[in-house]
A and B are shown apart, each in its own frame.
Chain A
Amino acid sequence: MSIPISMTVNGQPVSGSVEPRTLLVEFLREQLHLTGTHVGCDTSQCGACVVIADGVSVKSCTALAVQCDGSQVTTIEGLANGATLHPMQQAFNDHHGLQCGFCTPGMVMSAVDLVTHAPNPTDEDIRKGLDGNLCRCTGYQNIVRAVKAGAEGMRTGMGG
């Protein structure tokens, strides 16, 4: 049973045909070739796969593609404006918020979602808001700094 679906991803209408058990992340990576959304685990724990669907952050390994039929989805590829990085991306770059970069797409998406809901987060808010994202490299300190700067950048509408 293959099911036709269509959704808006990063502002573009897309469609495809999926098996019921196809996860959103599989659809994004394998059919749309949007490989910026990572898969770091098979237990829904790591957060490397976080995208924003209809205004809320979700783990795209924990949603079926069919469930997102008709949804508006933003992935890491949808943040930058041409060659200009999104303030949160710029802040991760400036503040060394990554090492290997594997967790980064999910971290940035969770951070953008966090700042959308709390424009001026404290360190504690940031740590709590990134509870669902694991990083094996940075020790998190620079991620917290980056998100603070990214929040500032998002408030002022500039790169971090």
Chain B
Amino acid sequence: MPRYVRARTLDEALDRLAAGRWRVIAGGTDVFPALADGQPGREDMLDITGLAALRGIRFDESARAWRLGALATWTDVRTAADLPPWFRALKLAAREVGGVQIQNAGTVAGNLCNASPAADGVPPLLALDARVEIAGPGGVRVEPLAAFITGVRRTTLAPDEMVTAILVPDPGRPGASDFLKLGTRHSLVISIAMVAVVLWRDEAGAIAAAGVSVGSCAPVAVRLGALEARLVGQPPGTDLAALVHESDGDALSPIDDVRASAAYRREAALTLVRRSLARCGEAAA
């Protein structure tokens, strides 16, 4: 019979992970639906929801980054009043995740660890250059999100490690961001494609840096580096959507499945990118 342990401290959780194989449980919204299939129910469960130190969202002065504790839920993100305006992409994603009850329980960190190609948290955080803070027996390591997720449901997490926070760097310049998701229904469906755009501006209002990422169109969400490079330096008022080339879709490797064909996904993704750029351009111009 599988065991269940509710860790009281991070050290206790790490000791457990070092001593045996455990399924870490945060919101459980990815883990528990699978219980119906009888699979994860066979695993020992390490419940981390009691670790108060992993709760909340705050600005970390020394890291010049916003720190989303591993237990920060989608509802926490959606309702956080003090986040800068450029967090909009993540806030919009939070509103679109699975309905209120899933937002109340589900964590952003769990979304990243679960590493679904359709995870809504990944494109915004990828475009924001987020890093993942990971604790293990050897101490703490911090890794860019882009390196953390390595494939469909695969990350660099070792069995004796756990995520303690997501760090979103604050470059200290004005920015705007946006998120768009396409599905057959507003909620409770797996996305066909989703897009996040982040634009940073210099003093003159020109684009100083850009992040554009697309999810659900490859095993892991991808950034459109060529498009980002084209965006940098554009003065305010530029028609940003017109800068998107058909070839930007070459970075994607969408699949054909019951939800949509690969060709439709590629087309839809580029359309969402154009729309998102237009919305971001308006917000920051």
Name A residues whose Cβ lies closer than 8 Å to a Cβ of B: 1, 3, 19-21, 23, 42-45, 47, 50, 56-59, 61-64, 66-67, 110, 113-114, 128-134
Contacts and interface: CB of A to CB of B under 8 A. Distances in A.
A131 B185 CA distance: 10
B186 A44 contact: no
B47 A58 contact: no
B35 interface: yes
A131 B6 CA distance: 30
Contacts of A44: 29, 32-33, 102
A1 B1 contact: yes
Contact of A66 (B4, B100, B102): B4
Main secondary structure of the interface of B (DSSP, over half): mixed
Contact of B98 (A114, A130, A132): A132
Nearest to B106: A62
B49 interface: yes
A133 B100 CA distance: 9
A20 B186 contact: no
Given A62-B32, A131-B186, A132-B188, A20 B98 contact: no
A45 B188 CA distance: 6
A35 B28 CA distance: 23
B105 A63 contact: yes
B28 A64 contact: yes
B105 A20 contact: no
B45 interface: yes
Interface of B: 1-4, 6, 25, 28-29, 32-33, 35-36, 41, 45, 47, 49, 75, 95, 98-102, 104-105, 186-188
Contacts of A64: 4, 25, 28, 32, 45, 47
B100 A114 contact: yes
B100 A20 contact: no
B101 A50 contact: yes
A62 B4 contact: no
B4 A58 contact: no
B100 A113 contact: yes
Contacts of A130: 99
A58 B101 contact: yes
Contact of B4 (A20, A42, A56): A20
A62 B188 CA distance: 14
A59 B188 CA distance: 13
Contact of B100 (A1, A21, A62, A110): A110
Contacts of B75: 56
B33 A57 contact: no
Contact of A131 (B1, B105, B188): B188
Contacts of A67: 6, 25, 28, 47, 49
A133 B102 CA distance: 11
Nearest to B102: A132
A1 B101 contact: no
A17 to B, nearest CB: 13
